Structures are given as C-alpha cells and as structure tokens.
Amino acid sequence: MGAGASSVVAPDGYGRGWGQTSLGDMPESCIAAVLLYLGPAEICQVACLNRTFRDAASADCIWAAKLPSNYRYLAALAAAADDDCACDDAAEGSGRCCSSAAIKKEVYARLCRPTRFDGGTKLLE
C-alpha cells in the first residue's frame, strides 16, 4: 500500500481511473469504528476535519460507549437540578435531556458540566 493505492489510473498515467479520493470518501461506519478508540476531546477535534467526520463524531454509538452504565439515572438527576431541564441553549425548555430520545452527545456534555444540588449549596463536578 502507499500513495499509489489511493487512486487508480491507467498504466500509462493517463486515461480514466477511479479518480481522486479523500478522507471524506471513507464510509461513516469505518470512521466511527476508529473514533471509538479516541477520547472525547480527540473526537471533537477530528469532527472538525470535514462533514463526514463530523457526522460520524455525532453518532449515538460513539457517545453511548463513553457514557457510564447508569447515565440515564445521572441525566435525570442533572435534569432535575436544572431549572428548565434543558441540555443546552438550543434545546432550552424542550426537556430532551430527560427523555430516552436524547442525543447521547448532548447527554455526555450535560453530565460533564458541574451540577448544583441541595438548594445550590453543593456542587458535583
């Protein structure tokens, strides 16, 4: 393998081959399989490469693997601590972090934020 394997052209170097390929041509499932081995910060960095990587980095299967087994319970506690039960500004008031249909990436981000409880006198980080 090498640079020659990334595109196929006629033996004389001219003519029609498969054309140029790029990272964006990789199947999203292959990218997601690699992202499973990365940490959350690295996943977010890789998501900046192109749209295919961004879509793969937003897949629930990636973030579900990063969540603790009791994440539903923790998310419910965090949501109860929030006045409006919102995961972020875009979903404010929608209650999405309380539902089972919540995007795992949003749940992960919410669980990473500090949560005040016991009347705001205690902070869980």
Q: Is this model's pTM higher than 0.75 or not?
A: no
pLDDT digits (tens, 9 = 90+) for 10-28: 555 555 556 788 877 888 8
Cβ-count burial 9-24 (b if 16+ within 10 Å, e if not): eeeeeeeeeeeeeeee
Q: Which of 48, 64, 80 is the last residue of a domain?
A: 64
Residue 122 vs residues 6, 16, 110: alpha-carbon distances, Å: 55, 67, 17
pLDDT at site 91: 43
- Six token digits for residue 89: 């500004």
Answer yes or no: is 117 within a domain. yes
Residue 12 vs residues 1, 2, 20: alpha-carbon distances, Å: 19, 18, 17
| pLDDT at position 97 over 70 | no
Total domains present in the chain: 2
* Between 52 and 97, the higher pLDDT residue: 52
Residue 52 lies in domain: 7-64
* Between 32 and 115, the higher pLDDT residue: 32
